[in-house]
Amino acid sequence: GQQLNQSPQSMFIQEGEDVSMNCTSSSIFNTWLWYKQDPGEGPVLLIALYKAGELTSNGRLTAQFGITRKDSFLNISASIPSDVGIYFCAGLPLNDYKLSFGAGTTVTVRA
Amino acid sequence: GAVVSQHPSWVICKSGTSVKIECRSLDFQATTMFWYRQFPKQSLMLMATSNEGSKATYEQGVEKDKFLINHASLTLSTLTVTSAHPEDSSFYICSVKAGVKREQYFGPGTRLTVT
């Protein structure tokens, strides 16, 4: 799959702040997935999006499937120390099961 | 979601030897599994798609004779790194495609170090 454009590459935030990251693609996707990876672990699925315009929450996490189907964003509200990690976006086109990944956003929370 | 395990979680082997990594889908019958490798501070790179009962499909640039994949049952896929070299040292992660939902669930990964 293609490499998606994920930004920012890294961010340092204060505990309690909101975090926002996004992902763009040159082609259309039918599914957007957001994962979090802790050091030495496999990625854990946070949110899955299936429809353009869809807005889905999972606790303090909110993600949206862009209307153009070429982008998605993830918000983390009121960040806490355990939000530290690398967040990856991933997209699936129609009729394919190979994920395309972003390069990841490294989040570091300052207490 | 699907629960995926990998064994071993880490392995150190000598150059020239072979290493087998297991990926198990614990609560889901997986006809398709995927194998990735990840280098430090990089994203995941798909190596191959493992299909139950048939040959694996390898991504361009991945040597199928070096990275042998066997998917003999709906719950187990194995990756064997043959004649390992230090440049094969990496983090190997498998994933399971959870049916029609098109989501993928990842295992915890296996850290391979070749000395």
Quick check: bond before B8 cis, omega within 30? yes
Please report, for chain B, how many H helices and E strands are present, in that order.
Answer: 0, 11
Nearest to B109 among A30, A42, A50 (CB): A42
Measured CA to CA, the distance from residue B101 to residue B106 in angstroms comes to: 15
A5 Cβ neighbours under 8 A, 6+ residues apart? A23, A24, A25, A102
Percent of chain B with pLDDT over 90: 80
C-alpha A89, offset from chain centre? 4
Q: Say if CB A91 and CB A99 are below 8 A apart.
A: yes
Q: Mutating which of A4, A97, A100, A106 best tests the B interface, going by the most B Cβ atoms within 10 A?
A: A97
Contact call for B32 and A104, based on CB within 8 A: no
According to the model, what pLDDT value does residue B38 have?
Answer: 96
Contact call for A92 and B102, based on CB within 8 A: yes
For residue A2, what are its two tokens? Answer: 């293609």
Residues of A in contact with B93 (CB under 8 A): 42-43
According to the model, what pLDDT value does residue A1 have?
Answer: 66
Q: Which residues pair with A10 in a beta bridge?
A: A106
Reported confidence tier of residue B61, pLDDT bands at 50, 70, 90: very high
Residues of B in contact with A47 (CB under 8 A): none
Is B102 at the interface with chain A, CB within 8 A? yes
pLDDT tens-place string over residues B88-108: 999 999 999 886 778 899 999
Q: Quick one: average pLDDT of B13-42? A: 94
Contact call for A43 and B44, based on CB within 8 A: yes
Per-residue pLDDT for A17 more than 70? Answer: yes
Contact call for A31 and B1, based on CB within 8 A: no
Q: Which residue has the higher pLDDT, B101 or B74?
A: B74
Q: If you search the block for the tokens 């098109």, which residue do you land on?
A: B102
Q: Quick one: average pLDDT of A38-67? A: 96
Reported confidence tier of residue A110, pLDDT bands at 50, 70, 90: confident
